[in-house]
Structure 1
């Protein structure tokens, strides 16, 4: 009997000392709900996240929402991750949600080096429309319009505030809201006719190569310095990393560059499935997986990198 106790004790000690596999996450973590707001950049990065979680044995789901609804969903625990918090342009929108620990913003941005402000075709800048202060002087040629994207987004709100406050003499202008795709159509139409047009511009985005555009100077007070220099962060429910630590590690690892996102977005804007686009891009750039999957396992605790490589046929 003493011998059996000794053996059992030795086995227990050995099991405690041996490296163990990561524990499987709760079943409630298997479905991962990502907010998608209809922007090509967020569609692209969310497509990558969904492709990876799929390969890891999770069940990713896309939830279409406006920007405010996306943050509301995160706050209420109805959305697990939103990869589209553009700072500083969304800071005023996010502030109420961060009060009383309503949501958590992961500390490392998923994108650095972005920009977000008003832009014009370069021929319009060469004609004198170079700054926010110049817009009012071109009111007739612009038909008193500034083109934004979908209602409720942060850029549109900033434009509306400028108009309501008669900032830069824009009190008589009108914001035209539609969608990212609708705005691009208006730019294309103006370029074909060689007419000036003022619109929300940002990078990364293929608009920077599809059109010869110039970002307007002088908008620091509204969009921030250096032509709206921005960082993009990921928002999650406050307790998400504690409940689903493996997914928390993956979301913290997901960091992109302007070049990577521009490549992904080019395909997304051609109406291709963002998850398929992401899979194809990863197959062509497999080395990135080591960074994104560092310390990440499958849902059931197995080697995450090996599982995703197998899932993608690498």
Structure 2
């Protein structure tokens, strides 16, 4: 047993060792990319994780809600988030952008859409605009169907209800998972029942459901351009300086709406395809895309990143 003096010396030695590691030693920590369980965001996140692993990093998909994704990046528990839909998430993300704990970083997809939608037979019967919803309140059972609790879309709808915008003051938001909400919509469609729900593109719902997006959104709701959106990749403060190579990859991972629609359609047509397998299958057929992503990106050991990823791609 060590005497007190030797114990103190041992503790001081351990402290010295711990604080003498070079900054690069932090690279041993897994890179955590927050994801919110939406199919499109999961595809992007799983592809990023797969590529990072092929380069020699430890990486993982960190599944949380949107508000928790930002708290996690602020605290350093998550490094990035590839599902920042704007303008609908402004109220959630802007405080973190303003205090500098999260960087907006790069727009990873343009031409997306996020707003309220209805089955097309409802639109054909007159429910075409936000201002029409209240006219059909009885048919809709005074409900608007959202996704997971705390989601920005739900919050926007709740704000509309609280402020009695479009005379929606007596309506209720029904939260659910993405899969649960879409199952509800499809069930209603089979019975020709009326329903208003959160819809977005890209997503296979646009193929599975004959649906119509409502007009009439404002800057205070889903944006003045009827819900047209851009999706951004955010990173925590300091990530790009601590992991410049990984940050370069994330900055170069730009997606298109047709690409994401095609991946989701593949998953719809083949239930055995996971998000990552469908994404990798699409990339095998479109090498120009991943070659742009990996331009100038290296492995952890300093070698070229492209052949390392292509080796993994061939094996999947």
Q: Same fold (TM over 0.5)?
A: yes
Structure 1: how far apart are the matches of 2:65 and 2:218? 25
What residue in structure 1 maps to residue 173 of structure 2? 175
**CA positional deviation for 1:77:** 1.0
Quick check: 1:82–1:235 contact (8 Å CA) kept in 2? yes
Report how many residues are paired.
290
The 3-state SS of whatever aligns with 1:73 is: helix
What residue in structure 2 maps to residue 7 of structure 1? none
**Following superposition of structure 1 onto structure 2, how do residues 22-61 of structure 1 map, counting pairs within 5 Å?**
26-30=24-28, 31-61=30-60
The 3-state SS of whatever aligns with 1:225 is: coil
What residue in structure 2 maps to residue 161 of structure 1? 159
Q: Report 1 or 2 for greater relative contact order, CA contacts < 8 Å, sequence distance ≥ 6.
A: 1
**CA positional deviation for 1:138:** 0.5
The 3-state SS of whatever aligns with 2:226 is: helix
Structure 2: how far apart are the matches of 1:271 and 1:102? 39
- Over residues 198-247 of structure 1, what are the superposed CA-to-partner deviations in whole Å (9 max), with x where a residue is unaligned? 00011111111111111101112411122211111111111111111001
**CA positional deviation for 1:291:** 0.6
Structure 1: how far apart are the matches of 2:54 and 2:75? 27
- Over residues 19-66 of structure 1, what are the superposed CA-to-partner deviations in whole Å (9 max), with x where a residue is unaligned? xxxxxx924235211111111111011111112111111111121111
What residue in structure 2 maps to residue 5 of structure 1? none
Structure 1: how far apart are the matches of 2:266 and 2:74? 31
How well do the aligned residues superpose, as a CA RMSD in angstroms?
1.7
**CA positional deviation for 1:286:** 2.1
What residue in structure 2 maps to residue 20 of structure 1? none
* TM-score, with length taken from structure 2: 0.88
The 3-state SS of whatever aligns with 1:155 is: helix
Q: Does 1:127 align with 2:115?
A: no
What residue in structure 2 maps to residue 90 of structure 1? 89
Quick check: 1:50–1:275 contact (8 Å CA) kept in 2? no
Q: Does 1:242 align with 2:231?
A: no
- Over residues 136-194 of structure 1, what are the superposed CA-to-partner deviations in whole Å (9 max), with x where a residue is unaligned? 01011111110000000100000000111111011111110011111101110111011
**CA positional deviation for 1:271:** 7.2
Unpaired runs of at least 5, structure 1: 1-24
The 3-state SS of whatever aligns with 1:89 is: coil
The 3-state SS of whatever aligns with 2:291 is: helix
The 3-state SS of whatever aligns with 2:310 is: helix
The 3-state SS of whatever aligns with 2:116 is: strand
**CA positional deviation for 1:268:** 5.3
